[in-house]
Every structure is written in C-alpha cells, then in structure tokens.
Structure 1
C-alpha cells in the first residue's frame, strides 16, 4: 500500500474536475455530518444525486434544500473541540455555483476541516483515525475521477468513514 501524504492529496484536488471536487467536499461533509446532526444521515442524498448528474441547477437546488433541512442543528454548548463549528463551516461553505473555482476552494477547505476533526479524536497527532481519513480522501478523489460510475464507490467510502468516526466518538463518550 502506498503512503498517502497531504501533498499527494493536494495534487489530486488540483487535478480534479467539477464532479470530483464536488464529490471530495461532499464526502468530507458526509463523513463528519453525524457529529452535527446524527439523526439526519440521509439529508445529503439529493446532493450526491446532483453530483452524479453534474448539473449546476440541480446542484444549487439540492444544496439549498440541505442547508434549510440542517439549519440550526448541532449543540454548540457541548461543542467539544469546536467540532460542531467546524462541520457547520463545511456545510455553510458549500458553493451554490457548480464551477471549478468555488468547488476547488470548498473541497480544499473541507479536506482540511475533516482531517482536523479526525485528528481531534485520535490519541496521537499522526494516529490511525487521521491516517484513515487521509487515505479515504485520496480514494474518493480517485474514484470520482472515473465519472458518475466512480461516485458509488466514493459514497461507500464516505459511509464507511462516517461509521468509523461515529464509533470512535461513541467509544470516547462511554469512557469519559
């Protein structure tokens, strides 16, 4: 297995097209969203469908609906380490415009935020949760490079990563 670095991840983001960028940012948000709104796991499904279509109008509409559905969720009073604030920043940063520039900027920010969230829950700075998130982000970008057919793999990776993160957070809460 090859080692994933932040540099190689950034290179993948730099080479990605609109669909890949949207999938990358959305996958990061999708993995972290349960920390903000655990009961709303499927709210991003229409946004994933919009990524598959690659249609700017459908994207804008799906993003708008997701924002409305998630408005006001997350308990800032119990915001350990600023996680709720970070995940909310990913959500509020979703560009309504289906264009390379805004999507690239958002995907890059989401990547950094998701890595920071995972690092908060790791026992060490270079721990397995952070390393797994770095690998997942690379795999999502590689899968999305195959167009709509790779999006199922990207979504599966996102779902798997979300389960891992929820399990870690749950275990930590039980032992606290």
Structure 2
C-alpha cells in the first residue's frame, strides 16, 4: 500500500474535475459533521444528490439550505476548535459550481478535516489523522469515476463519520 501524504492529496485535488472537487469537499464536511451537528447528516443528502447529478443550480440551493439547517442544529460542543474547523468548511462552501472556487474549497476542507482529526488524535498525527488521509485519497479516487464512484465516496464518508462520532462519544464519557 502506498503512503498517503498531504502533498499527494493536493495533487489529486489539483487534477480533479468540478464534480470530484465538490464530492471531495462535501465528503470532508460529511465525515466531520459530528463535531458540529451530531444529528445533521440528513441535511447533506440533497447536496450529495446535486453532486451526483452534476447540477450546479441544485448544488447552490441545497448547500444554502444545509448551511442554515446545520447552523441552527449545532451541538453544545460547537465552540471547540475542531467544531470551528467544521463550521469553516460549511460556511466556506461556494454557491457556484465552478472549478476555481470548488478547488479552493476542496483544499480548505481537506486541510480542515486533517486538522480536526489531528486535534482529536492523542499523538497529533496518529491513527485518526492517518485514517482521514486514506479516506480523502479514496474519496478522490472514487469520485474520479464519475457518478458511479460517488456511492463509494458516500460510504467512505459515512464510515469516517461513525469513527469520529465514536471518538467524540468516548471522550464525552471519560471527561
């Protein structure tokens, strides 16, 4: 298995088309959402549907609705540093389905998701951070296959969200 680095992720993002860029950023947001709005995953379903269709108009509308809904359901821990990173992913989402803003957002989301995972990792660059690097690469690889690869990207996001939710829950119980 090849080693995944932030540099290789940046290269993958640099080569991605708008649909893959939207999927990459959205997947990072989706995986990290338990840090901001623990019960907010349903708010992103219409956004995923817009990505699957490659529909820029639906993307902007769905993202705007998700932003409003998720900001109103932000959990009590939403002021913590990782939650602030997730809030930045959410508020930084471009309304336009164009390559440059989507690329910038995907890069920002990648960095924020890695930062949130490193913050929660006991050793900074431990297993949570390494797992997030692998998931990001897998999402980009899957999204490169068009709409058919988006199902795998969503599965990876769901899995990553479960992992993060478990970590947050475990920390809450031991605090």
TM-score by length of 1: 0.95
Q: Could you tell me which runs of 5 or more consecutive residues in structure 1 were left unpaired when the two chains were aligned.
A: none
Would the aligned equivalents of 2:27 and 2:157 in 1 still touch at CA under 8 Å? Answer: yes
CA shift for structure 1 position 68: 2.0
CA shift for structure 1 position 61: 1.2
The total of aligned residue pairs comes to 175
TM-score by length of 2: 0.95
Q: What's the RMSD between the two structures over aligned residues?
A: 1.3
Report what 2:7 is aligned to. 7
Query: In structure 2, how many angstroms separate the alpha carbons of the residues matched to 1:66 and 1:19?
Result: 18
Q: Could you tell me which runs of 5 or more consecutive residues in structure 2 were left unpaired when the two chains were aligned.
A: none
Name the SS of the counterpart of 1:143 in structure 2.
helix
Query: In structure 2, how many angstroms separate the alpha carbons of the residues matched to 1:85 and 1:75?
Result: 12
Query: In structure 2, how many angstroms separate the alpha carbons of the residues matched to 1:78 and 1:51?
Result: 27
Please tell me whether residue 138 in structure 1 is matched to residue 137 in structure 2: yes
Report what 1:97 is aligned to. 96
- Are residues 31 and 146 of structure 1, via their aligned partners in 2, closer, same or farther at CA, if it must alter by over 3 Å? same
Query: In structure 2, how many angstroms separate the alpha carbons of the residues matched to 1:148 and 1:42?
Result: 20
CA shift for structure 1 position 125: 2.0
CA shift for structure 1 position 12: 0.3
Query: In structure 1, how many angstroms separate the alpha carbons of the residues matched to 2:125 and 2:34?
Result: 23
Report what 2:18 is aligned to. 18
Name the SS of the counterpart of 1:154 in structure 2.
helix
Name the SS of the counterpart of 2:105 in structure 1.
helix
Query: In structure 1, how many angstroms separate the alpha carbons of the residues matched to 2:155 and 2:103?
Result: 22
Would the aligned equivalents of 1:76 and 1:85 in 2 still touch at CA under 8 Å? Answer: no
Report what 1:43 is aligned to. 43
**Which 4+ stretches in 1 moved above 3 angstroms?**
75-78
Would the aligned equivalents of 1:74 and 1:84 in 2 still touch at CA under 8 Å? Answer: no
For residues 80-137 of structure 1, the C-alpha deviation after alignment (integer angstroms, 9 at most, x for no partner) is 3x12221111100110100000000000000000000000111112200000000000
Would the aligned equivalents of 2:78 and 2:84 in 1 still touch at CA under 8 Å? Answer: no
Query: In structure 2, how many angstroms separate the alpha carbons of the residues matched to 1:66 and 1:122?
Result: 28
CA shift for structure 1 position 75: 4.7
